[in-house]
Structure 1
Amino acid sequence: MRPWVVPWMGVGWLAGILVGSLTVVPVVLLTASGISAALAYAVSWSRALFSERGAQVVRLSALTVLAGMFGIWRANGALLFDQGQQEQWDPFYGRPAVVRGVVRDAEIRGVLVRLTIGQLSLKDRAVLGMLRTTVPRSPGIGENAVIRLRGKLERPEDLPRLLSARTGQPVRGDLERVFRRQQVFATMRFPDVRIETAARPSVLTRVRFSLRDLLLQQLPDPAAGLYSALLLSFDRDLPSSLREAAAATGILHLVAISGSHIAAIAAVAFFIAVTAGLSRTTAAMTTLAFTAVFLALVGFPESGVRSGIMAGLVLFATLLGRHAAGLRALLLAIVVMAAIDPRVLLGDVGLQLSALAVWGLLTIFPFLQQVFRQIPDPLRLRSLILLTIAAELATLPVVVYTFGRIPLFGPLTNLAAGVLFPFLLALGALVLLTSVVAPAMTALVAPLATLLGNAFLGIAERVSAIPGHLITVPPVSLTFFLTSLVSLLVVGHLLQRRPRSATTA
């Protein structure tokens, strides 16, 4: 099998996942298409009917169609499963109910905590799926706590619509698919809570909260909240006004756990390992281990794990292989994730942004480097600017469809914040290390960490205060989003081939 056949089968699989996520394809049509593709593949080996070139085209098309059929079958299975779960919840929406379950995730939001609850029982009957609610913080409420809720059950997609009616802002993105990917089928607004079994935090969770307390003790606000978010994933420790400013200027992905965040941490760890004299292979393995420890410390968030796997595959494929190896590794990562859970393709915004950002760095960035190769690159500033522009262009369709806002100065703010980001990570880690090992040294490190943290947040505050810094885009349909995304992928693929041909010539 030729090496370019497998990537095409991967593309066919993802196309099938996409189609199967949008509609249920009749089994008869699916079977007929699969049989036709298999017959075409078998007939293509007849030298009497096809030339060698024609036979290769038929085989490639047949294998791509077969992969697509399996993708549709996999996605349809998940779609029908979700519809079955939805039906069991339908009789209870809009009614008071008592629900018992186990807390699977607890996200602290100031004096409140947002809970995702599984292993649910409703009227003494087990029900599948998750329930999401927000309750006041309490010492006994946390991961693995068994609680009983009393309140009115609502559809999860109703809450954003209520918020939209209250604020006058339109609903963005496909929230229903986002909730389905998370397997959230119901919500309760501020229910009565009774704790049956208090939370039993793991050792890593206790360590994480202890380190958070150290940061909040050693650093003043808002720098303490910034480092708590950067290093320990307590992004709600950052004041809401600063979070909004970071989101409006396009640098929130550096604060919250995301693909960019994980990739930046891995890059800093790799640079330090190489600077310390380790070989590139040893440094790569050290970086992988460090990233795994970091993900464990922040509780293995789903978005972080997926982004870490994808960034790691692409990083090491590019490091140990060629440019094309990075693209194949990216495709492999997305194919595997979609095989495990087909809902991620349309329902995981974080994965979409991470995948497109990496794709932009592998395709659009080399083209921009070739176009602007005559411009000097002191301290690699040109490369940093072009990297930022490539990532911004690649993620533009998702940003427009999901958020409806385009930060006008996004590339510049990302460049400035990106330069500070490695130093923030290093200083934050140093504050934690000295607080544990040599508390007297913390007084020397903390002022510099505070100064740099305030500078990072100052970028967001000052840029967000500029009139017209944010372009608001009217809501777009899913069809428009998918069309623009496919067009961008095709154009990017064509552009990334030009520098190689130009160089060869």
Structure 2
Amino acid sequence: MRDRIFYSICFGFILGVLVRSFSTSGGVGTPTLLGVGVVYIAILLGIISIALLLFFILISKNKFGLLLAIFVFTFCLGVFRFQLADKSAPAFLESRVGERVVLSGVIVDEPDTRENNERLVVAVGDKSQEIKILVTADFGEEFKYGDLLDLRGRLEKPENFTTDQGKDFDYVNYLRKDRILYVMSYPEIEIVSGGHGNPVRRILFTVKNVFLDKVNMIVPNPENLLLSGLILGERSSFSESMRENFVNTGTIHIVALSGYNVTIVAEWFMKIFSFLPMLFGAIAGILAIFLFVLMTGGSSTALRAGVMASLALFARATGRNYDVARALIVAGVGMIFFNPFILAYDVSFQLSFIATVALIFFTPKIEKHFIWVPKHFGLRDIISVTTAVYIFVLPFILYKMGNLSLVALPANVAILPFIPPTMLLGFLTGFLGLIHPILSLPFGYAAYVLLHYEISIVNFLAQIPFAAITVPDFPFWLTLAIYVYFIYRLFGNFLRPSPN
């Protein structure tokens, strides 16, 4: 009974957030399902559910009724939590949309350097009404986290668009999850002063950039771009063709901040320390995850990926999948409570969560089909994990992105065994480069060889005809049906009522 109460609380809250997500401005829900209407309905349901809770606790003792009342009550809490997060834009900016404005603000995230421009997240207004603006700037100035800027340009609202795969992308709410409500394209920018923002993050970003500079001194382009992506999740500098090749071969995940990617690294650390008791090996892996999160600057995306990876690592090290499942759900609910927008509008969070579930629960089901694969160099583990995760995330990828890679499995099998040593060599290249560049040369050259091989595999497979196909209209109902089937096969024994 306690388990069912736990799941009623968690899934009721999640469903409440999800329903309210689809009724927000720019959302994709039913057009008549407006945010205000949902809140009023939730208030009514909340009052009814409290009355039912008291009735079933004090009078009826009916278990099903109690669970239903708990579910409805936490559903209402989910609606209210999203309502609190879905703040309206301040009038002083809303009235100036479409006009040329003069604003002052601080860069509150690391500048995002792209192939043709640079993107800055600038916070304007006081703490009580702080709003973020995504500023697209030309190259020239060296912008840093914590810089105070004067901006002169046209203030606009972001707009949704259609991707190259024909999928509608809710760009408005994608930015809104980070409290970014406006955009400015190529305004006049003056750096007033530096050193603002969180001093800890400023130090982390400085160390990260110095580290990358040392790597770039030794490893040439484009191999250095891949190495930056592997170690720190940096892929913004990828050329369009390079990014497209990684997407079409199903290998873009290796340069993404996801629980899946981080777990692969952590498991490799566990193998290094396999001569120690398993608990110490798991601790070494979790320390590697912590180091990774710090190296990325402590971003919320990296932190979420680190939490997911730590749970997956603990599950695979101890075999206590059931306990970790509860911890995973609690972690997911906690992240959603902290930022309700990530449930419906953060693909990174969604992929991390789905991939972590696959790592913990689906991989053991798959492994028995690969006993014929040798264990040398962890090949069996890599193939099992890759297959399990790819099968599990495929419906989501088809629905969300509309891209189906037909060469993903051979591409991942050919590349993934070399990713951990590549990352280790890359880390040593940057770390020793901080001491003296000569010390990093042998490690940098070795990393280059592996990186060149990995890029060559990706480029070769991407050129195969029909390496990837576009599925623009993969239906939501089919995606939902597939995951219901997956959940039933994985957790059917837990969902069935006990004989007693």
Q: Could you say whether these structures have the same fold, taking a TM-score greater than 0.5 normalized by the shorter chain as the test? A: yes
Partners in 2 of 1:128 and 1:15 — Cα distance?
A: 29
Whole-Å Cα distance in 2 between the matches of residues 207 and 393 of structure 1? Answer: 38
Alpha-carbon distance in 2 for matches of 1:88, 1:389:
52
Contact 1:101 1:146 survives alignment (8 Å): yes
Check whether the contact 2:165–2:401 (CA below 8 A) recurs between aligned residues: no
| 1:130 Cα offset (Å) | 0.9
1:186 aligned partner, one-letter code: Y
Using a 3 Å threshold, how does the CA distance of structure 1 residues 150 and 401 change in structure 2: closer, same or farther? farther
Report the equivalent of 2:175.
179
Asked if the contact 2:404/2:468 (under 8 Å) is kept, the reply is yes
Distance (Å, rounded) in 1 between the aligned partners of 2:7 and 2:218: 51
> What is aligned with 1:14?
14
Retained in 1: the 8 A contact 2:289–2:310?
no
Query: How far did residue 245 of structure 1 move?
Result: 1.1
- Give, in whole Å, the separation in 2 of the partners of 1:484 and 1:363: 22
Work out whether residues 20 and 74 of structure 1, in 8 Å CA contact, stay in contact via their aligned partners in 2: no
Q: How does 1:133-172 map to 2 (within 5 A)?
A: 133-157=135-159, 160=161, 170=166, 172=168
Counterpart Cα distance in 2 of 1:343 and 1:46: 37
Partner of 2:340: 342
**Amino acid aligned to 2:120:** L
Q: Is the 8 A contact 2:19 2:79 kept in 1?
A: yes
Query: Percent identity of the aligned residues?
Result: 25
1:210 paired residue number: 210
TM-score, normalised to structure 2, is 0.86
Take 1:102 and 1:20, find their aligned partners in 2: how far apart are those partners?
Answer: 31
- Counterpart of 2:137, as a letter, is V
Paired with 1:425 and 1:68, the residues of 2 have a C-alpha distance of 43
Aligned partner of 1:58: which letter? G
Kindly report which structure 2 residues correspond to 1:15-414, keeping only aligned pairs within 5 A, or say none. 15-23=15-23, 24=35, 25-26=37-38, 28-45=40-57, 55-79=62-86, 81=87, 84-85=88-89, 89-105=93-109, 106-110=111-115, 112-120=117-125, 128-157=130-159, 160=161, 170=166, 172-198=168-194, 202-272=202-272, 274-275=273-274, 277-317=275-315, 319-320=317-318, 322-369=320-367, 372=369, 375-379=371-375, 381-414=379-412
Q: Is the 8 A contact 1:212 1:228 kept in 2?
A: yes
AA aligned to 1:73 is F
- Opposite residue 91 of structure 1, the aligned amino acid is S
Note the aligned Cα RMSD (angstroms): 3.0
For each residue in 1:186-229, what CA deviation from the matched residue of structure 2 results, as whole angstroms up to 9, or x when unmatched? 11111111111146783333322222122111122222222222
Equivalent residue for 1:425, pick from 405, 423, 426:
423
Structure 1 residues 381 and 126 mapped into 2: Cα distance closer, same or farther (>3 Å)? closer
CA deviations on 1:228-261 (whole Å, 9 max, x unpaired) are 2222444244444322211221211212333333
Q: Which residue of 1 aligns with 2:453?
A: 455
Cα offsets for 1:280-339 (capped at 9, x unmatched): 323333333332232222211221111112222343255446221222122111100111
Q: Note the C-alpha offset of 1:433.
A: 4.0
The 1:494/1:462 distance shift into structure 2, 3 A limit, reads same
* 2:482 pairs with 1:488: yes
Q: Which amino acid aligns with 1:149?
A: L
Structure 1 Cα separation of the partners of residues 156 and 260 of structure 2: 34
**Count of residues paired in the alignment:** 476
Q: Secondary structure of the equivalent of 1:85?
A: coil
Unaligned runs of 5+ in 2: 24-34, 496-500
- Cα gap change, 1:498/1:75 in structure 2, threshold over 3 Å: closer, same or farther? closer
Sort the Cα spacing of 1:19 and 1:169 in 2 relative to 1 into closer, same or farther, 3 A: closer
Secondary structure at the counterpart of residue 89 of structure 2: helix
Q: Which string of whole-angstrom CA distances, capped at 9 and with x for unpartnered residues, describes residues 476-500 of structure 1? A: 6xxx43x344323321122125799
Alignment deviations for residues 169-192 of structure 1 (CA, whole Å, 9 cap, x no partner): 645332222121121111111111
What amino acid is the match of 2:158?
A: P
Of stretches 382-391 and 487-496 in structure 1, the one that deviates more from structure 2 is 382-391
Unaligned runs of 5+ in 1: none
